[in-house]
Structure 1
Amino acid sequence: MSIFPNSDICETPVMTANLIKQTDFDAIIIGGGACGLMCAVQAGFLGKRTLILEKNDKVGAKILISGGGRCNYTNLYTTAQQFISENEHFCKSTLSQWTVEDTIRFFETYGIEGKEKTLGQLFPVSDKAKDVVNVFTSLCVDLGQEIWCDAEVKSIGKLDGNFIVSIERCGKTEKLSVPKVVIASGGLPIPKMGATDFGLRTARNLGLAINDTAPALVPLTITGKDQPWYEQLSGNSIFCRVWNDRVSFEENILFTHWGLSGPAILQISSYWRPGEFIYIDLLPNQNIAELIQAEREANGKKMLLAYLAGLFTRKFAEALSDKLPADKNLASLSKADIEDISNLIHEFKVKPAGDKGYDKAEVMRGGLSTDELSSKTLEVKKIPGLYFGGECVDVTGWLGGYNFQWAWASGFVIAQNL
């Protein structure tokens, strides 16, 4: 009898029991990404035997492309404040059980020294993401943990106290019996890398609550009459402060032919909702009115365009001039002119049309409601023996290694409780 009353894929008829392979695994882990790999390894350290089922032809696909192939594997400044969730406190227990120091020590133990780049972002000294994946695959071999690639999970049911996991592999369907199941199948971003809605779909089929999902850490698009202005600046990168009424970030933005990207835009995108404005200070930590006043006392004949070209690139200054009295010299600027310049520079207003979607998103916002899970074990409250971790849970980190720290930590916590 299935324990999943809302599912049309999870029923495991008793008559098929003789076709079910009784395994000696303590748990099956669905998904060979950061969370799943860490879970398997940590379970192995505890003497538990696991099987990773990975849909792709190799594990760690997103690890391999992260950070431009260099893998920003954690952030030195990780706290719960860098994560978005309906329950802002949920991640605290997991992050305290496996800390940044634990991540650093773990990778150093297996030959990966870290180097900090910017804002606490830690990368392998080798700048090779494959080194991170190799740590896990080597440990899985050493610890007797199995990995089956090209294995697609078709259903999960329950029979006689065990979970029955139906998979398709090598053109054949198998049903595996196992005491516990971990769903670490990731989120929706980058479908070309094999991302699917498996975790969300399974949770929904089990009658578990799902918080609204959306692309996060994603470029924003500009359409209509404003698009040509952004298009002409494609390739220009500027250090800015970007904010809305929820949060503020100081990093680079990148103008593109379809809108805005760059670290600051990716960060704010996680807090942006369709129809809202975002604001950009193009000259943070300086006051353009004061700068102009000082300059015109020294050289009032300098044209505004020439002055702006000294603060920004010539191309960007010319684009700004479309919105400013560029034909005036500094001495002739009125109080109203300077106020307009200050408003444009320090409070540049943008209303994005949308975002570039899951194809370009780094992560997914939302996911399985944390109300469904124990914050201490990540076990589903109403289905003992079933665990969710990583990106498919409603815990979304900032850009810069935070999502990896959540993945490692959630994998560790689940392993302790298998």
Structure 2
Amino acid sequence: MEYDVLIIGGGACGLMCAVQAGYLSKRVAVLERNDKLGAKILISGGGRCNYTNLYTAPTNFISENEHFCVAALHQWSVDDTIHFFEQQGIAGQEKTLGQLFPTSNKAKDVVAVFERLLKELGQRVILEAEVKSIEKNPATGSFQVMFHHKDRLESLEAPKVVMASGGLPIAKLGASDFSLRIAKQFGLAVTATAPALVPLTITGKDAEWFSALAGNSIFSKVWNNRASFEENILFTHWGLSGPAILQISSYWNPGELIWIDLLPKQRIAQLIQLEREKGGKRLLAQLLQDHFTKKFTEALGKFLPIDKKIASVGKQDVKLMEQVIHRFEVKPAGSKGYDKAEVMRGGVSTEELSSKSLEAKKCTGLFFGGECVDVTGWLGGYNFQWAWASGYVIAQHL
């Protein structure tokens, strides 16, 4: 059988691309390294799949070219995603901050949509296909893809190839730098990569303090010189996690500081003043326990005079309280790396791709979509929206 396009990777981008290409009567073969489609979809959102975000905008993405994603997100909007899944029997329910999950709360239902559609459209899916090489025939302009399948080396040929094999996070799900290597092979620049949406580690003299607080979750504002997020942070045995930390990690580089406002909705100085007006008989520890767990309050005793009566708290004490509560300084040692990262920052340079089609400018017929491109979304369904949009856009230009 002859194919119009070979899609490398059966994740969100590759699956959407294969289905949309099928609607346009394109014959497709999807080559997936794993023994099932959508491995990363299946574990996303704790197995519930946060498949888009109602508030998606270009400002929710990190890229060397902040405008690059605009064209794709315009061609395939959040409404398009919602309508597509509703047509396939998946209604969405909104959770925190615009995150949309299937009402069934089952990620496997999302994958099942694509499995069914690919079957209906007659598209070929080859599982356990590890692509080894991609070469372009200068005479015909077509691509030859060599891959291992069931202990045999096989090959397929097509005039178009879509690289949708993801990025480096979560090696056990088959993640690799294959798309990046293919980009470099065809002379395309790759923007430096790093783990993103990833927990941060603390080592050295402060490690024990953080570790002792493992399990404590606090609504906070976390920021650095580039971005700011208000969500929960979670103390762990190795440092910090939770939504706000995962978000800021995408804007953090090794060696840099981050700051945490542990009480972003109130001011500690005002709370102290109110206590004074009531006589100030309570201890600082008692005031703090109105807002934090007993364990966390006791831990703050390392930095604050928590056993002081509020009536005897001086100006310097208040200054110290403001510094610790509203500007808690942290210097992470590093991150938990690609195996714990939800996505990869960086990737195939946007300078190398057409923003309208995602085709490589230097190599006709070669497309890149999804996570391997230098477009990284925030936590909360944004990366799925980029994957669906880029898959759709590529399909329109095959």
Q: TM-score range by the shorter chain?
A: over 0.9
> 146, 155, 164: which one pairs with 2:133?
155
- Greater shift in the superposed pair: 304-313 or 47-56: 304-313
Answering whether residue 361 of structure 2 is matched by residue 387 of structure 1, we say: no
> 5, 12, 15: which one pairs with 1:37?
15
Answering whether residue 242 of structure 2 is matched by residue 262 of structure 1, we say: yes
Structure 2 CA distance for aligned equivalents of residues 131 and 54 of structure 1: 19
Structure 1 CA distance for aligned equivalents of residues 168 and 371 of structure 2: 9
> 27, 30, 48: which one pairs with 2:5?
27
What pairs with 1:11-410 in structure 2 (closer than 5 Å)?
23-159=1-137, 160-410=140-390
C-alpha deviation, 1:327, in angstroms: 2.2
C-alpha deviation, 1:161, in angstroms: 2.1
SS in 2 for 1:225: helix
Structure 2 CA distance for aligned equivalents of residues 353 and 210 of structure 1: 26
The number of residues matched between the two structures is 396
Once the two structures are superposed, residues 31-88 of structure 1 have per-residue CA deviations (whole angstroms, 9 ceiling, x without a partner) of 0000000000000111111000000001100000000000000000000000000000
SS in 2 for 1:238: strand
Q: When the two structures are superposed, what TM-score results if normalisation uses the length of structure 2?
A: 0.99
SS in 1 for 2:285: helix
Once the two structures are superposed, residues 129-155 of structure 1 have per-residue CA deviations (whole angstroms, 9 ceiling, x without a partner) of 000000000000000111000001111
Alignment-derived partner of residue 13 in structure 1:
none
C-alpha deviation, 1:300, in angstroms: 1.1
Structure 2 CA distance for aligned equivalents of residues 193 and 37 of structure 1: 16
Alignment-derived partner of residue 16 in structure 1:
none
Structure 2 CA distance for aligned equivalents of residues 295 and 261 of structure 1: 33
Structure 1 CA distance for aligned equivalents of residues 235 and 155 of structure 2: 51
C-alpha deviation, 1:285, in angstroms: 2.1
Structure 2 CA distance for aligned equivalents of residues 230 and 299 of structure 1: 34
C-alpha deviation, 1:296, in angstroms: 2.2
- Greater shift in the superposed pair: 52-61 or 151-160: 151-160
Identity between Structure 1 and Structure 2 (%): 68
Once the two structures are superposed, residues 6-27 of structure 1 have per-residue CA deviations (whole angstroms, 9 ceiling, x without a partner) of xxxxxxxxxxxxxxxxx41110
Q: Give the aligned residue type for 1:156.
A: I
Contact 1:254-1:262 within 8 A present in 2 as well: yes
Q: Give the aligned residue type for 2:154.
A: E
Q: Give the aligned residue type for 1:87.
A: N
Structure 2 CA distance for aligned equivalents of residues 381 and 133 of structure 1: 32
C-alpha deviation, 1:303, in angstroms: 0.9
Q: When the two structures are superposed, what TM-score results if normalisation uses the length of structure 1?
A: 0.94
Contact 1:56-1:194 within 8 A present in 2 as well: yes
Alignment-derived partner of residue 413 in structure 1:
393
Structure 2 CA distance for aligned equivalents of residues 168 and 82 of structure 1: 38
Alignment-derived partner of residue 20 in structure 1:
none
C-alpha deviation, 1:311, in angstroms: 1.4
Q: Which runs of structure 1 show a deviation greater than 3 angstroms over 4 or more consecutive aligned residues?
A: none
RMSD: 0.7
Contact 1:209-1:368 within 8 A present in 2 as well: yes
Q: Give the aligned residue type for 1:280.
A: I
Structure 2 unaligned runs (5+)?
none
